[in-house]
Structure 1
Amino acid sequence: MSGSSQASDLYARMGFIKNQDGTITRDPTKPRGVRAPATPDPFPQVISKDFVVNHSKSTWMRVYVPTTAPYGGVSPKKLPLVVYYHGGGFIGQGFDLEPVHDFCNRLALQSNAVIASASYRLAPEFKLPAAYDDGEDALIWIKYSADEEWIKSYADISNVFLMGSNAGGNLAYNVWLRPAVRELAPLRIRGLILHDPFFGGEKRCKSEIRNVNDKFLPPILTDIWWNLCLPDGADRDHKYSNPTVGDDMEKIGRLGWKAMVTGKVEGRALIDRQRDVAKLMKEKGVDVVEGFTDDDVLASIRTFIYSSAQLRFF
């Protein structure tokens, strides 16, 4: 199969239509996935509830709280708050789809933290930086909703962590760089967790060349994702895709924030880019924990959160 026909096939499999004028639109006949409801019932190990963040943008947040006290009650101690952004290459998934919901349940339980899973607008309908704007909106919503019962009762907003998986890792990273994030008091950002983050560049890195047939994320697929989500006319060396071309991290290094960068090693095309981001952070003075392993990283995430948080109990 030629590269062009392979790309066309991938567009179709992802639920997009290539129009005669060269534009690409979402196929309305393709389902987005199975949605999972929130579970406010107090008996599961984790309870969750949905909140509207921005009516005009149709953005939401699902808050997860582990029920760590006996008899299904919530722990009287406030827990660190992880603001989480889901993956999907900026073009798919959603905060309420089953895989994301299931992951956030596990994350809340195993990290012993409150998880605020934020939605964001997707490309190609809304190209970057729309997702970054929505990611920042989620933090501002928490800041001004500090008296909302679920935030007030369960979350310690002086110990906030930004986290994202795949494209959500890219989103968390770019929100972390924004100046407004440094002015969110009473929220205090303590760290950044990049879980198998999605970064790119025009020149193929060694792991992309070595894993050109990566079954999870082959380079031809990530090229399509970048084509759909980057601003019109931008290539993969845009600062949204390639962190090595920006200079904002100089300021972050001086703030004393901590970061964790994780990635799967075996057969993954993106691993060298993830390692390069961790290396760049260290060079800019950021305290970085690396978690490049094929093991489940949730236990390591909990260790990072509790070693980085400045805990106070109520």
Structure 2
Amino acid sequence: MAMAIYNIFLLFLCFCQLGHKITASDEQKTPSHTLQEAYDVLGIKPNPDGSLTREIRIPMVNATPNVEPTSTTQIALSKDIPLNPFTKTFIRLYKPLNPTKNSKIPLIIYLHGGDFVLFSAKTVIFHEFCNQISAQFPAVVASVEYRLAPEHRLPAAYDDAMDAIMWARSQAVCGNGSDAWIKQLVDFSHVFLLGSSAGGNAVYHAALRALDLNLSPIKIRGMIMNQPYFGGVHRTESEIKLSEDAYIPLYVNDLLWTFSLPKNANRDHEFCNPLMIGRSYDLGKIKRLPRVMMKGDDGDPLVDREKMLVKFLEANGVEVVSIFNEGGHHGIELSNTTAAQELYDAMKNFIHSTLKFKHINH
């Protein structure tokens, strides 16, 4: 009981100090829209059994495990490998087309965006994102094909992220039995978790879960959250200001959370609102998180949530590198090549500075 009271008090102080006003009413100042409007925006149709028909508008692409002789733009190789046969998940693994010889590189476990409801590791925008990361950093990238809601509500995506972390550990342990790309290239003491939007949310929860496990010989050195997908019952100023945002309007966002969260849970469930600690995670665990990079954009309705989480983590001793850009929008790196390159450079710098700090202190 004392811990619960302390947690509530801490949250009150956190809200007071963050400088991002939370409104008193759940739906205050938000225009009304029909469910059908939200379905149309998302390109989905609900089915009687609770599943969704997804009219995918962004194409999916196959992996490219071999050098394509006629290609002038290929920068990485990729292949799909099974992750969990019971959940039918897999990993799309990437390696640079021309990796540096006799030099090990980091392993990045990547969780794609899509608000837990849409898209795939095979979706072309995420496939190209991972190609760029693998080639530019350089790194081996393990992009996780996690299960989607509402067919598989949270914490299914977190479970799949943990499967990927344990897969990485098994690759490190099995030595000669590991995947050839992994064995040749990966430094298992240099593992990073990276997620965009819903993937950023999943990275946060997976990193907290991983603290309970002995992952040796792998070491998670840092976590990168790119515009992570969080929410809450009461509106932030950015949510109200950008309620009719072209990329993630509030009425669509609310529907996505009803699909993603456990049944009968509201948006103050810890899966949605990371400041609602005390159910699965205590402050002691949060204090043990690795170094964090948080990237957001002021034109994103979620930006206040991200700034609040940065303040919360820093207040609990977590080292955070935060990058908040003026303007922009949710998912800007997927459509704007300049913004994408700025993000690649920032993530690369974060990884290199994290590893440099590790070497200095060892």
Q: Same fold (TM over 0.5)?
A: yes
- 1:140 is paired with a residue of what secondary structure? helix
- The whole-number CA distance in structure 2 between the counterparts of 1:181 and 1:160 is 17
- The whole-number CA distance in structure 2 between the counterparts of 1:210 and 1:183 is 44
The CA deviation at 1:4 is 4.3
- 1:276 is paired with a residue of what secondary structure? helix
Residue by residue, what CA displacement relative to the aligned partner does 1:79-106 show, whole Å, maximum 9, x if unpaired? 0111000000000110011111011111
Instruction: State the one-letter code of the partner of 2:115.
Output: G
Aligned partner (choices 180, 191, 206) of residue 175 of structure 1:
206
Is the counterpart of residue 235 in structure 1 residue 266 in structure 2? Answer: yes
Match of 1:288 in 2: 320
Is the deviation greater in 105-114 or in 239-248? 105-114
The CA deviation at 1:45 is 1.9
Pairing of 1:55-134 with structure 2 (within 5 A)? 55-67=85-97, 72=98, 74-134=100-160
The CA deviation at 1:34 is 1.8
Match of 1:258 in 2: 291
Using the aligned pairs only, state the percent identity. Answer: 36
Residue by residue, what CA displacement relative to the aligned partner does 1:245-292 show, whole Å, maximum 9, x if unpaired? 114362345436200000122x21111001111111101110000011
Match of 2:311 in 1: 279
Q: Does structure 1 retain, via aligned residues, the 8 Å contact 2:50–2:151? A: no
- The whole-number CA distance in structure 1 between the counterparts of 2:289 and 2:241 is 36
Is the deviation greater in 163-172 or in 285-294? 285-294
Aligned partner (choices 2, 5, 11) of residue 39 of structure 2:
11
Aligned partner (choices 130, 153, 170) of residue 144 of structure 1:
170
Equivalences, count = 302
Instruction: Identify unmatched segments of 5+ residues in structure 1.
Output: none
- The whole-number CA distance in structure 2 between the counterparts of 1:16 and 1:259 is 34
The CA deviation at 1:180 is 5.4
1:37–1:179: structure 2 CA closer, same or farther, 3 Å change rule?
A: closer
- The whole-number CA distance in structure 2 between the counterparts of 1:233 and 1:73 is 49
Superposition TM-score, scaled by structure 1 size:
0.90
1:136–1:181: structure 2 CA closer, same or farther, 3 Å change rule?
A: farther
1:73–1:261: structure 2 CA closer, same or farther, 3 Å change rule?
A: closer
Superposition TM-score, scaled by structure 2 size:
0.78
Is the deviation greater in 72-81 or in 295-304? 72-81
Please identify runs of 4+ aligned residues in structure 1 that moved more than 6 A: none
Instruction: State the one-letter code of the partner of 1:85.
Output: L
- The whole-number CA distance in structure 2 between the counterparts of 1:208 and 1:149 is 46
Pairing of 1:32-47 with structure 2 (within 5 A)? 33-42=58-67, 44-47=74-77
The CA deviation at 1:55 is 1.1
Residue by residue, what CA displacement relative to the aligned partner does 1:12-46 show, whole Å, maximum 9, x if unpaired? 44243346x7x743126x34642211112246321
- The whole-number CA distance in structure 1 between the counterparts of 2:312 and 2:202 is 17
Q: Does structure 2 retain, via aligned residues, the 8 Å contact 1:107–1:115? A: yes
Instruction: State the one-letter code of the partner of 2:291.
Output: K
1:209–1:158: structure 2 CA closer, same or farther, 3 Å change rule?
A: same
Match of 1:220 in 2: 251
1:214–1:4: structure 2 CA closer, same or farther, 3 Å change rule?
A: closer
- The whole-number CA distance in structure 1 between the counterparts of 2:158 and 2:38 is 26
Q: Does structure 2 retain, via aligned residues, the 8 Å contact 1:38–1:50? A: yes
Query: Which of these two proteins has the greater Rg computed from alpha carbons?
Result: 2
1:254–1:200: structure 2 CA closer, same or farther, 3 Å change rule?
A: closer
1:73–1:306: structure 2 CA closer, same or farther, 3 Å change rule?
A: closer
Instruction: Identify unmatched segments of 5+ residues in structure 2.
Output: 1-30, 69-73, 173-177, 329-338
- The whole-number CA distance in structure 1 between the counterparts of 2:100 and 2:88 is 30
Is the deviation greater in 294-303 or in 83-92? 294-303
Instruction: State the one-letter code of the partner of 1:89.
Output: D
Residue by residue, what CA displacement relative to the aligned partner does 1:150-181 show, whole Å, maximum 9, x if unpaired? 11111111110111000000001010111456
- The whole-number CA distance in structure 2 between the counterparts of 1:155 and 1:279 is 33
